[in-house]
Amino acid sequence: MAICNCFRKFLNFCFKYSLVLGVVGIAIIFAPSVNFLLDIEPKSLTVPLPNSLRQFETNKVQWKSFENVASITGPDSIVYDAKTHQLITGSEDGYLYSVDVNDDRKFKKLFKLVNDELMARFQYKRRPRPIGLRFDSKGRLFVCEPMFGIFKVENVFTDKPKIELIFDIEKTSQLGQTSVFFDDLLVEEKQSGGHVIYVTDVSRKFSFQYVMTAILSSDSDGRILRYDTDTGKLDIIMSNLFFPNSMEMLPDNNGFLLTETGNRTVWKYTFNDQEARVLMTALPGEPDNIRFSLNGKTFWMALLRPRTKNNPLLIDHMMSLPKLRKLLVRSFDLIGIVFDRLHRITSISKLQCLSKQFRSMEILNKVKDDFATGGGMLIEIDSNGRIIRTVYQTEGTALAWPTEAREIPSKNPDERLLYIGSFRPGYPIRKIILNK
């Protein structure tokens, strides 16, 4: 009898507070945006997963060798300098690093692009994190700092590199709202010596630190910006994109390919007609960086977590439930705000860490594995979207979270050599050798 009474009390407790939680949940979903509730209105994702991976299996190859090399934290984008045989990548700590491909387990810390003066301008609330990297034909390095803008570096391999912020992210205010999250860039050289910079502008609401929040809130205000370094002219050439991620110029320089991560889509934009069309869609994973292969005619594209309709992830189910995502994002943000207030009162650093993990939704990666794992895919395509070659795993960590495949010359003419980047901690630069 005592056990029954205790159980009855437990059920009454659960019922009473479930009603309270239900009321709070409804309020969070339908309440208007105020200072403590995020201004979001998620949409249902309509791009389906493929029925199978058959079209990717036809051209699938297995690597000849696979190796973890330079243990740099979060090497998102990689460039290669043929004269010095050096790779350059950025890291989570805000520094650029170089790697000698002749001894690619070793690496050298170079420098940060963002100085203390620039950090102070934003009250040290923004952190440096170099991601998109490009060389021009004269060896000048261009780097995307997602919360600061585009930098140009001359004499990158010397003791006195010349660092210049050539496109301040604050300049986007002239287009209306100021951007807070750049992701990648393209560099077009002009006869004058200047450059036209194309930038993937992910969001005017969520910064690089809130990638998961931007995805779950289906922020579709992404744009492609064009900036002329000679004239200072800035304009928008594409808009209404859901997490525009990366670009690569077409072989004839008459446009570019664009990966749109949120919709698992690849676009083709041509300069002559100033139009964009869908080249590939319903991809089996979220496309990240796209880069030329060594032949300069085809492209390597990295995809996260390849899957089909038969084995969707939790996030796939969530993308069809906008109200649930609104509740989740707003609730986590509120919890983060509470932890932040407690940190200000107590100065306990763990509370500040929890605040960031909840507000950025990174806490999900610690709770549910399929937000953080699930293999990876590399696809080689031509400018018409034809699949040339694929390398992938549907599970495991060897290819997990690839952000970029950078192909460089191999010493063996019968092999192809690729270095793989990743933005997630715990994944170093990886080296893959394929047979031609």
Answer yes or no: are the C-beta atoms of 210 and 361 closer than 8 Å: yes
> What is the per-residue pLDDT across 410-430, written as a single tens digit (0 to 9) for each?
999 999 999 999 998 889 999
Asked if pLDDT for residue 315 goes beyond 90, the answer is: no
Specify the pLDDT at position 29: 52
In degrees, to the nearest 5, what angle opens at C-alpha 301 toward C-alphas 297 and 304? 175
Specify the pLDDT at position 362: 84
* Mean pLDDT, all residues of the chain: 90
Specify the pLDDT at position 1: 47
Q: What average pLDDT does this structure show over 282-286?
A: 97
Specify the pLDDT at position 19: 40
> What is the per-residue pLDDT across 142-191, written as a single tens digit (0 to 9) for each?
999 999 999 999 999 999 999 999 999 999 999 999 999 999 999 999 99
> What is the per-residue pLDDT across 95-140, written as a single tens digit (0 to 9) for each?
999 999 999 999 999 999 999 999 999 999 899 999 999 999 999 9
> What is the per-residue pLDDT across 344-355, written as a single tens digit (0 to 9) for each?
999 999 999 999
Q: What average pLDDT does this structure show over 57-86?
A: 95
- Distance of alpha carbon 305 from alpha carbon 28, whole angstroms: 31
Specify the pLDDT at position 58: 87
Residue spans of the domains in the chain: they are 54-313+374-435
Return the percentage of the chain with pLDDT > 90, whole number: 81
0.75 cut: is pTM over it? yes
- Tokens linked to 316: 């796939």
Asked if pLDDT for residue 15 goes beyond 60, the answer is: no
Specify the pLDDT at position 5: 52
Q: CB within 8 A of 75, min separation 6: which ones?
A: 89, 90, 91, 97, 421, 422, 428, 429
Specify the pLDDT at position 33: 53
Answer yes or no: are the C-beta atoms of 307 and 315 closer than 8 Å: no
CATH class of 54-313+374-435: mainly beta
